[in-house]
């Protein structure tokens, strides 16, 4: 997924504000899930959803106003009730690594209690399409 960096994404020095990477990861996760026919709205109607349990980010170089950042996203681990996304953010024009990160997602019911990931969702998560 590509993200164009606008002025609103930056601090007063023209550098991507550090917390914006969380927003970019969220968008990238959504695109990843939808590319595998996993839609949050459908999950909610079936009585489950996914919540962030843990987040890591390592900043390697600054993203800047006007850059186009490319976010590579993959699922690296799947357990009974959780799965882990990993990200690599690169400058699309220079291929410079900007940041890496990971997010642990937990499958929960409508009361926000952990539950097992439905089998068909787990299968779609593990597909390498």
CB neighbours of 117 closer than 8 A, spacing ≥ 6? 78, 80, 81, 82, 83, 107, 125
Q: Where are the beta strands (DSSP E) in the chain?
A: 2-4, 48-59, 68-78, 82-91, 97-109
Query: Catalytic site residues?
Result: 11
Residues in the chain: 129
pLDDT tens-place values along the chain, 129 residues long: 999 999 999 999 999 999 999 999 999 999 999 999 999 999 999 999 999 999 999 999 999 999 999 999 999 999 999 999 999 999 999 999 999 999 999 999 999 999 999 999 999 998 765
The predicted structure's pLDDT at residue 124: 95
Domain ranges of the chain: 2-126
Burial string for 47-66 (b: 16+ CB within 10 Å, else e) reads ebbbeeeeeebeeeebbbee
The predicted structure's pLDDT at residue 126: 86
The predicted structure's pLDDT at residue 128: 65
Contact 89, 100 (CB under 8 A): yes
The predicted structure's pLDDT at residue 90: 98
pTM of the model: 0.92
CB neighbours of 88 closer than 8 A, spacing ≥ 6? 71, 72, 97, 99, 100
Superfamily of domain 2-126, CATH level 4: Hotdog Thioesterase (3.10.129.10)
The predicted structure's pLDDT at residue 16: 97
């Amino acid at each position: 997924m590509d993200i164009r960096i606008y002025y609103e994404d930056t601090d007063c020095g023209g550098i991507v504000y550090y917390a914006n990477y969380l927003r970019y990861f969220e968008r990238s996760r959504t695109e990843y899930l939808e590319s595998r026919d996993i839609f949050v709205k459908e999950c909610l109607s079936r009585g489950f959803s996914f919540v962030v349990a843990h987040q890591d980010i390592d900043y390697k170089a600054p993203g800047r106003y006007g850059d186009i950042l490319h976010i590579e996203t993959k699922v690296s681990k799947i357990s009974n009730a959780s799965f882990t996304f990993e990200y690599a953010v690169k400058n699309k024009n220079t291929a410079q690594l900007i940041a890496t990160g990971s997010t642990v997602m937990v499958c929960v019911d409508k009361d926000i209690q952990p539950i097992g990931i439905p089998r068909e969702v787990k299968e779609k998560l593990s597909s390498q399409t």
